[in-house]
Amino acid sequence: MANNVVQSLERNGLASFDQKLAMAKRCSHEGVVAGAKAAVFATVATAIPTLASVRMLPWAKAHLNHTAQALIISTVAGAAYFIVADKTVLASARRNSFKQGGYTDN
């Protein structure tokens, strides 16, 4: 009888605490990896035009010192990291929620 109760609880989406914790760790790890990839891409995509504009445009050369250039590049990289990591964690959690509920994600 107890085995039937456990099976029915798991079938209804009430997984054990360990399973939920493992799923949360996997979701957050996916978010960290995706965010890091996005940050690297954003750094390169921002650094090239920022450094090129400082060399070619008189206004940028006069007003953007090394600190300003680093601030521009790091702000874009940080924003890309947090946006992509957050979206990835939410998408992973949503996908896992649908799997637990018995739905399929098409």
Helix axes 66-100, 17-56, angle to 10 degrees: 150
Q: What is the per-residue pLDDT for 34?
A: 96
Tokens read off for 76? 């874009």
Tokens read off for 16? 């054990």
Q: What is the per-residue pLDDT for 95?
A: 86
Tokens read off for 37? 């990839």
Q: Is the pTM of this model over 0.95?
A: no
pLDDT tens digits, 31-40: 999 999 999 9
Alpha helices by DSSP H, the chain: 2-11, 17-56, 58-63, 66-100
Each domain of the chain, given as residue ranges in start order, spans: 38-98
